[in-house]
Each structure stands twice: as C-alpha cells, then as structure tokens.
Amino acid sequence: MRARPGRTIRNVVWVGAFAAFTAIAHAGDIKVLSDSPLQPALTKVADLYRQETLNQVTLVFDPSPAVKKRIEGGEVADVVIVQPDFVEDLARAGKVGAGNRPIIGRVGVGVGNRTGSPTYDISTPQKLKDTLLGADAIVFNNVASGNTFATALETLGIAESLKPKIVRTSPNGIFDPVLNGKGNDFVAGTMPLIATTRGIKLLGPLPGDLQHYLTYTAVRMTTATQRKTAEDFIRFLTSSKAKETLAANGVD
C-alpha cells in the first residue's frame, strides 16, 4: 500500500527533528581527567550535572602525577582536576588555561583496617601512636597522601621503630596488602577512598595538627573540544548543590 504524501512528509520531519535533537544532546559531551581520591564524590556530582544539562561527562581517574604524565604524553580532555602544583606545571607547558582555577574541595588523610578487625580509637595523636605501635603492617602510598602520613609518623616519633612494618606502594596499590593480610594491618590514605573500598573500614582522620589536606582545582584544557561546556561544568563544581554532594562524600 502506498504511503500517503502527508504521512511521508511528517515522518521525514520527525526523523530530521530526532536527528537534530540527538546531535544537540551530544554536542556538549565532555571528558574529565581527575585525581583518584575524588572518584566517589565526583561521580555523583557528574550524575547531577548530567541530569540538569543532558550533557554526558566521561570521567577518567588517576593519581595527579599520572594525570600530568598522561597529558604531557598527548592525552586530550576538556577538564582537568588535580592538585594546584600539577596545574601550575601544566599551565607552564601550555596544556591548560591560565585563567580562573577555582578550588573545588579538599580531602583529608585517614587510617583504616580490614572490615571485621578491631575498631581502634585514633582521635588523638597519642591514641593513634598507641594503635600504630601494635600494627603488624602499615601500608601507604609514595605520593602526597603517603608523604603526609610519613610526616605524621616522624612527628609522633615512631617512624624508625615502625620501619620494618611499613609497606609503601603505588597510589592504587595500598589496599591489596591489607585485604590479603592476616595480621593487625592498617592502611593510610585519602579518606574517601578508604571509606568506599570494599573490605576496608575507615577508623578516622589523622588527628589535630597531624592532618594535612590535599586541595584540588579544576581547569579547562587548552585543547578542549567543548570549551563552553567545560567552563559550565567547572562553574557547576562550585555551585551549592555540587558542594553539598562533595561534602557528603568526604570532600570538604
């Protein structure tokens, strides 16, 4: 049966409109390279942004040093979220913009152990010291959060005595030695990652002056293909809605 001319025209119009909508919906899709400790919080913030704008956000997580290396190696994204020192290096290399770089939050360093292990009180420097002196193994990384914890051990005066029990790993390798361990083992690292890693229990933050926060800033890459959407996403990260979600997931 032959299609009626009016119906054919309407179908063509509908198909054209759908194609145009699809093109518009995907026109603002962006890629974000971010430091790993922000993953639990930033994933939820990106979901909020998608709901409000219909723009898709592809998140890629790696420690700040690895993000910097990937960009220097030629990887392209629209937005970069790392610690300020790395942004400065990337700006000097012309990889990111030299304009506004809002601080989107900070992450503290904490201590955890295996789920099912005793829950220790580490709310004061002395209690943390006593807890760590009873450890069979203490695992932390070889970048910023690990350096913060190493400084805390020096301040507590127990770095030398604990040296045989210390295991330092890559940023992404801190949990396996504790998860696979059998003794009184502890992990130190950024609190959002400790709190969201299956099989690991967060005991708490480093107490008092032992704490040092890792600060994160967001910036647009100079090679961004979606410049307007990238800048809009960075503005969204500083909104009250985003800040509430960040705070609820361990990012102050």
Cross-strand partners of 167: 139
* Rounded Cα gap, residues 59 and 48, in angstroms: 14
How far apart CA 130 and CA 107 sit, in angstroms, is 25
| 3-state secondary structure (DSSP) of residue 1 | coil
Q: What are phi and psi of 159, to 5 degrees?
A: -60, -45
Q: Distance between CA atoms of 135 and 226, rounded to whole angstroms?
A: 50
SS3 39: helix
Q: Using CA atoms, how far apart are residues 4 and 236, in angstroms rounded to an integer?
A: 49
CA dist., res. 140 & res. 17, Å (int)? 54
Q: Is 188 exposed, middle or buried (0-12, 13-18, 19+ CB in 10 A)?
A: buried
The whole-angstrom separation of Cα 252 and Cα 243 is 8
For helices 240-248 and 39-53, the axis angle rounded to 10 degrees is 150
Neighbours of 153 (CB within 10 A): 22
* Structural domains present in the chain: 29-105+215-248 (3.40.190.10), 109-210 (3.40.190.10)
pLDDT of residue 124: 98
Percent of the chain past pLDDT 70, that is, above it, reads 89
Model confidence band, residue 4 (pLDDT cutoffs 50, 70, 90): low
Sheet holding 166-169, edge to edge: 166-169, 137-141, 185-190, 109-114, 200-205
Average pLDDT of the chain is 90
End-to-end CA distance of the chain: 66
What dihedral do alpha carbons 197, 122, 209, 161 form, nearest 10°? Answer: -90
pLDDT in tens, 30-81: 999 999 999 999 999 999 999 999 999 999 999 999 999 999 999 999 999 9
User: Does residue 177 surpass a pLDDT of 80?
Assistant: yes
Mean pLDDT confidence for 15-27? 42
Rounded Cα distance between 32 and 56, Å, is 11
Instruction: Give mean pLDDT, residues 15-39.
Output: 67
Please say whether the beta carbons of 86 and 17 come within 8 A.
no
- Mean pLDDT over 157-175 rounds to 96
**DSSP for residue 199:** T
- What sections of 134-197 are H helices per DSSP? 144-156, 159-162, 176-179, 191-196
Q: Are strands 137-141 and 185-190 parallel, antiparallel or unpaired?
A: parallel
The whole-number pLDDT of residue 17 equals: 40
d(CA 98, CA 156): 40
